Amino acid sequence: MTTWLITGCSTGLGRAFAEAALARGHNVVATARDVSTVRDLADARPQTALALPLDVTKDDDVTAAFKAAEERFGGVDVLINNAGYGYRAAVEEGEDDAVQQLFDTHVFGMVRTIKAVLPGMRARRSGTIVNLSSIGARVSPEGSGYYSAVKAAVESLTLSLRKELAPLGITAMVVEPGAFRTDFAGRSLRQAEHAIPDYAETAGKRRKEHDTADGAQPGDPAKAAAALIEVVESGETPYLLVLGNDASDSIRATLKALSEDLDAWEHISRSTDLDDKKSRS
C-alpha cells in the first residue's frame, strides 16, 4: 500500500484518479480548494482516505497539506499534480492578471508541491511525481496560447526533474490527455473578458459561447484513471503518457509535421557552423 496525494480532486480527472487509487487499496490524500467537495471520499473510506483543503497558489496551504499527510500516513509516495483550469484568449486578448494566475496555478503551484514532497522522497529514495499536461502543449490551438504555454512549461520542467531524480530512485512523468468527459470545457474554462473582432475567425471560434465540445468529449475519466494507476504501479513509468485516441492521433500528426519542417529546412539549419578552417584557427 502506498500513499497518493492528488491535487484538484473535486471533479474530473482528479476525482477519478482518487477514486481509482482508493479502489486499488492505496491511501489517498484527496485535496481541493473547497474541501467540502472531497469529504465524501474520506467519509466512504475513513481508514485510507484523507480530505484536505489545498490551494496550490498558497504556500501555507501546501505546507499544511503535506504535514497532515505525513502525520496521518507517514509520507507521500505518489504525488499527482492535477489542479488547474482552462483559459482561452488570443495572445493579444490575454489579461495580465489572468495570465499570471494561470502560470501561478499550473507551473508555480506544481513547483510548490514538488518542493514539499521531495525531501521525504529523497530520504526514502523512492517516489513518483505525476504532472498533468495536455495535448494542447503539442498542438497549441488558436485561442489556447497561454494554456498551451503553461503546459509546455510543465513538460519541460518535468523532463529536467526526471533526469535529476533518476539517480535517487525517484521518477517524474507527464500525463498528456486529450479531451475527456469532464467539465474542463464548461465550468472550469475561463476566457478573456474582451474579445477583439479581428480574431473572430481564429481564437474567437473557440470562445465558450461558441464551443460545442462540453459534454461531447470522447475520453472516459474512469479509464484514464485505471490507465494511470497501471502505469504508476508498473514501476516503469515513461516520461510521457498520452491518454486518448484523439491525443495519440494529434501528437503523431504534430511529430510528422515537425519532421517535415526539419527536412525541408535542414540545408539552412546545417549551414550555420563555423567552417573547418575557421574552427581550427
Per-residue pLDDT reduced to its tens digit, 59-70: 999 999 999 999
Pairing label, strands 189-191, 86-88:
parallel
Q: Specify the pLDDT at position 267.
A: 97
For residues 155-168, average pLDDT: 98
pLDDT tops 70 at residue 243: yes
Strand-pairing partners, residue 170, are 127
- Is 266 within the bounds of a domain? no
**Each residue of 184-219: pLDDT tens digit?**
655 778 999 999 999 999 999 988 777 666 666 768
Query: What integer is the mean pLDDT of 147-164?
Result: 98
* Residue-level pLDDT at 185: 55
* pLDDT, mean of residues 5-17: 95
- 242 membership: H or E segment, kind and range: strand 240-243
**Which among 10, 2, 15, 7 has a CA at the least distance from the CA of 36?**
10
In a domain, 274, yes or no: no
User: Confidence band (pLDDT; 50, 70, 90) for 137?
Assistant: very high
Which helix (H) or strand (E) is 50 found in, with range? Answer: strand 49-53
The whole domain housing 216 covers 3-245
Q: 222 Cβ partners below 8 Å, 6+ apart?
A: 16, 19, 20
Domain-located, residue 121: yes
Task: Report pLDDT for 265.
Answer: 97
Question: 87 - beta bridge partners?
Answer: 190
Q: In this structure, is residue 93 part of a structural domain?
A: yes
Distance CA 215, CA 213 (A): 6
Confidence of residue 55 (pLDDT cuts 50, 70, 90): very high
- Summarised one tens digit per residue, pLDDT across range 73-125 is 999 999 999 999 999 999 999 999 999 999 999 999 999 999 999 999 999 99
* The predicted structure's pLDDT at residue 275: 87
Max avg pLDDT among 26-35, 135-144, 208-217, 241-250: 26-35
27 within 8 A of 4, measured Cβ to Cβ: yes
Q: Would you say residue 261 lies in a domain?
A: no
Query: With 0-12 CB in 10 A as exposed, 13-18 as middle and 19+ as buried, what is 76?
Result: buried
Is residue 277 a part of any domain in this protein? no
Instruction: Flag whether 260 is in a domain.
Output: no
> What does the pLDDT read at residue 276?
77
With CA atoms as reference, report the closest residue to 189 among 226, 146, 157, 137. 146
Instruction: Provide the 3-class DSSP secondary structure of residue 43.
Output: helix
The beta strand positions in 68-223, using DSSP E, are 78-81, 86-88, 127-132, 170-177, 189-191
Pairing, β 127-132 against β 170-177: parallel
Query: What are the C-alpha distances in Å from 91 to residues 95, 133, 191, 193, 202?
Result: 9, 20, 11, 13, 11
d(CA 93, CA 194): 7
One-letter amino acid of 126? S
- 281 lies in some domain: no
Please give the tally of structural domains in the chain: 1
Question: Catalytic residues, which ones?
Answer: 133, 147, 151
The DSSP 8-state label assigned to residue 131 in this structure reads E
Percentage of residues in the chain having pLDDT higher than 70: 93
Residue 180 has a pLDDT of 78
CATH code of the domain in which 15 resides: 3.40.50.720
